[in-house]
Structure 1
């Protein structure tokens, strides 16, 4: 079975996109699938290896039509192994905002702040079941 490309992407801009890409690959385990623009990083794509989500990011370009301030985003990433994911990010000295814990809605999750200030939740909550 061929896996489809994501249909929803988190889109970010970064003051240091090369550092942020390396951080997402090394600390979180995302897979870099594309990077364009050399050191400027006009466009990069990273995929989450456990599912169909992804990140698109590039250098912060004030005045551009699709400009957002770096460090103001938040995302939730579903993982089948929140404990293993937590061990990975802790071992890489990530900025843990909320330690691994069970929630009152039945999930096991934690929150990390990346080097640009974005918040990332990792957990096993896949959303409410649809009819």
Structure 2
């Protein structure tokens, strides 16, 4: 059995179904499950190919877990920054920072999705657990 993911970043969207399509097409997330009817998304899980993922839903309703749409930010590890940058740009992502090498050994770029959320993609996988 594979390693379980125990931390799931979450976000709310004005148009969750459109954001799901964008995140799949532009960034390469994999749609795992989407619950809801019509335009409303009660819960969606998008998996990241290298592990982990995000959960999201429509930004309205009576949930106690309400984050204003467009206020999310995440750093996502990828193994090919330049290829992902090209894919994101071709799909209409607003590129805020083109791919560049960092002083800590990563190659990163930053984009904004149509909801206003910020996404940084890079090769830095974090430090090993101590």
Q: Do both share a fold (TM > 0.5)?
A: yes
In structure 1, the residue matched to 2:36 is 37
SS at match of 2:9: strand
Segments of 5+ residues of structure 1 without an aligned counterpart are none
SS at match of 2:31: strand
Q: In the aligned structure 1, how far is the partner of 2:98 from the partner of 2:62? A: 37
SS at match of 1:9: coil
Q: In the aligned structure 1, how far is the partner of 2:31 from the partner of 2:74? A: 18
> Which 4+ residue blocks in structure 1 deviate beyond 6 angstroms?
none
Shift of 1:5: 3.7
What TM-score comes out, normalization by structure 2 length?
0.92
In structure 2, the residue matched to 1:116 is 115
Matched residue count:
129
What TM-score comes out, normalization by structure 1 length?
0.92
Alignment of 1:69-88 (within 5 A): 69-88=68-87
SS at match of 1:83: helix
SS at match of 2:46: strand
In structure 2, the residue matched to 1:50 is 50
